[in-house]
């Protein structure tokens, strides 16, 4: 793996969910994740109106800036521009990486879903993706139909020199093999925001401690 580019640091990648982090708890929930050491945040909301999404993304953008942690917007480069987010996450059925890059500029962080495919990963790397996302690694209540992946792809993808993200059903108790296999970031919804809200910070901290033990570039103090 090369050094992480732009402001990307290895660690927990917190992804919001309009079911688990509804508008009234979104900001305290993400703040707890940031206090626990989340290194990247994604606003992913498949249910709210455009006006609600704008308001929530604005609030998240301010919060993430106060922690100096990049905020990415799922699927929606225009919303990312409107709220001054650091970038976007795009799947294979979302807008093309080249279009998003043209709209957001060279400094934007653009992550690409690669499922379990090195072919998709090579194409995303050649086209300037800032991280490659593989998954799902475990059963996911958030996205049960996501195609499965196995950890070997993480090690293979490291050879491309682009940061590698793992997603899908990840919890504190099943995360270690994914970091050891090569994940720079673990993208988590239910394993972070599911369960008791009071425990979010402790859950995030547990992920951070796993990175401290098993990722060569992780630093708790950064």
Ligand X SMILES: Cc1nc(C(=O)O)sc1CCOP(=O)(O)O
| Calpha distance 166→183 (Å, rounded) | 6
Least CB distance from residue 176 to ligand LCLJCK34, whole Å? 19
Least CB distance from residue 3 to Mg ion, whole Å? 27
| Calpha distance 10→51 (Å, rounded) | 32
| Calpha distance 207→186 (Å, rounded) | 8
The answer to whether 56 is a known ligand-binding residue is no
According to the 3-state scheme, what is the secondary structure of 172-218?
CCCCHHHHHHCCCEEEECHHHHCCCHHHHHHHHHHHHHHHHHHCCCC
The pair phi, psi for residue 103, each rounded to 5°, is -75, -35
Among 16, 21, 56, 74, binds ligand LCLJCK34 (CB under 6 A): 74
The answer to whether 184 is a known ligand-binding residue is no
Residue 163 or 190 with smaller CB distance to ligand X: 190
Per DSSP (E only), the strands in the chain are 11-15, 40-43, 71-74, 87-90, 109-115, 131-135, 164-167, 185-188
Least CB distance from residue 1 to ligand LCLJCK34, whole Å? 17
The answer to whether 25 is a known ligand-binding residue is no
**Triad 194, 59, 102: Cα angle to 5°:** 100
Among 11, 37, 87, 169, binds ligand X (CB under 6 A): 169
- Residue 77 parent element (H or E): helix 77-83
First to last CA, the chain: 19
* Of residues 2-41, those binding ligand LCLJCK34 (CB under 6 A): none
Least CB distance from residue 217 to ligand LCLJCK34, whole Å? 19
Binding residues for Mg(2+): 75, 94
Interacting residue ranges for ligand X, rule: CB under 6 A? 113, 135-136, 140-143, 146, 167-170, 188-191
Interacting residue ranges for Mg ion, rule: CB under 5 A? 75, 91, 94
Interacting residue ranges for ligand LCLJCK34, rule: CB under 6 A? 42, 44, 74-75, 89, 91, 94, 111, 113, 133, 143, 165, 167, 187
Binding residues: 42-46, 74-75, 94, 113, 140-143, 169
């Amino acid at each position: 793996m090369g050094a992480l580019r732009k402001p990307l640091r290895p660690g927990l990648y917190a992804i919001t969910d309009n079911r688990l982090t509804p508008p009234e708890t979104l900001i305290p929930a993400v703040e707890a994740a940031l206090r626990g050491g989340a290194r990247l945040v994604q606003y992913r909301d498949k249910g709210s109106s455009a006006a609600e999404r704008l308001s929530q993304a604005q609030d998240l953008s301010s919060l993430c800036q106060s922690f100096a942690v990049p905020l990415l917007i799922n699927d929606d480069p225009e919303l990312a521009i409107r709220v001054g987010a650091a970038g976007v996450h795009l799947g294979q059925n979302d807008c093309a990486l080249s279009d998003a890059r043209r709209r957001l500029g060279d400094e934007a962080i653009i992550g690409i879903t690669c499922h379990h495919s090195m072919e998709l990963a090579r194409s995303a790397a050649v086209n300037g993706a800032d991280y490659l996302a593989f998954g799902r690694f475990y059963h996911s209540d958030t996205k049960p139909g996501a195609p499965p992946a196995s950890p070997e792809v993480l090690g293979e993808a490291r050879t491309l020199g682009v940061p590698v993200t793992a997603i899908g059903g990840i919890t504190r108790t099943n995360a270690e093999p994914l970091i050891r296999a090569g994940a720079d970031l673990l993208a988590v919804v239910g394993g972070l925001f599911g369960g008791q809200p009071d425990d979010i910070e402790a859950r995030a901290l547990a992920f951070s401690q796993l990175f401290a033990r098993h990722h060569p570039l992780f630093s708790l103090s950064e």
